[in-house]
Amino acid sequence: MQRMLRQFGYDVLIAEDGRKAAEILAQDDGPRLALIDWMMPELDGPDLCRKIRTAQQESSYVYIILLTSRQNSEDIVAGLESGADDYLVKPCAPAELKARLRTGRRILELQDKLVEAREQMRYKATYDSLTGLRNRAAILAFAHESLSRPAYAETVTLLMLCDVDHFKRMNDTYGHPTGDAVLEEIARRLNTAVGLGGAVGRYGGEEFLIVINDCSPSTMEGRCEVIREAISRTPIATRNHELPATISIGSILHESGNGDMPLKSLLAHADAALYRAKEQGRNCVVFAESMAVL
């Protein structure tokens, strides 16, 4: 069997018993095609099939062909119901083995394409296609989850609404491709400045929502300034221009022990603070008036 498989062009791993086979097949980079004998020490073929299927993740499906000298229908049904995909009676003809393995490979290729398509759909449903950041629904879900942590955990969440200053003028002057390039670079800088423990999402148009967990009243102003300066410090290089860019920020800090204010209300306060930042000349941070710490 080993010689035949190598002649067919397969790399072959041999397990001396059922438990060793289970260990090999459980590896992240383990084989995707398995020829399993019905009679083996430690774990027999059907038990090994059940073990594989119990631990199986959809993204790493193993196609199993059960080998046996048993030929009655009850054994065939038992083998297939244990999790085998196919059933081959020994001794098997080389041409039949080759054809069965080719069928297994086709099934695995189709399964991989389905997983890839599913992941692409999940990404498109969660991330903004231009900036690569979370889209509006995803960043709002992250914010809601952050605010929903239990009160006894004494958590603090900082919400920041950011708007690119004079973005419409930039689009009108230099064109939408340049505007898109500016948004991409701003998104990259925001993501880098926020780092771990937070998330950035495209809230809409040229607006971004930032959620930072485990912030504190003593550090929130510094965190906001770091993010504002990440945009204003260096002009943004596009294909034909180097453009200065700034953002205005409206922020609000929510502490779990200060009542259960809905996300919608918190965002309304942050939006009002953002509006005041625009009135005050842009390129600045304004904190919501409802925050007692200020």
Spatial distance between the Cα atoms of 269 and 294, rounded to a whole number of angstroms:
14
Q: Quickly count: other Cβ atoms within 10 Å of residue 277's Cβ.
A: 25
Residue identified by tokens 């991409």 is: 184
What is the distance between the alpha carbons of residues 17 and 15, in angstroms, rounded to a whole number? Answer: 6
Active site residues: 206
β-bridge mates for residue 253, sequence order: 158
Burial 179-208 (b: 16+ CB within 10 A, else e): bebbbbbbbbbbbebbeeebbbbbbeebbb
Cα R_g (the chain), whole angstroms: 29
Q: How many CA atoms lie within 13 A of 72 on its CB side?
A: 2
* Helix and strand counts by DSSP (H, E) for the chain: 10, 10
> Residue 289 to residues 81, 214, 252: CA-CA distances in angstroms?
65, 21, 9
Separation of alpha carbons 283 and 31, rounded Å: 56
Task: List CB contacts of 191: < 8 A, sequence separation 6 or more.
Answer: 133, 200
> Which two three-digit tokens encode residue 183?
């948004």
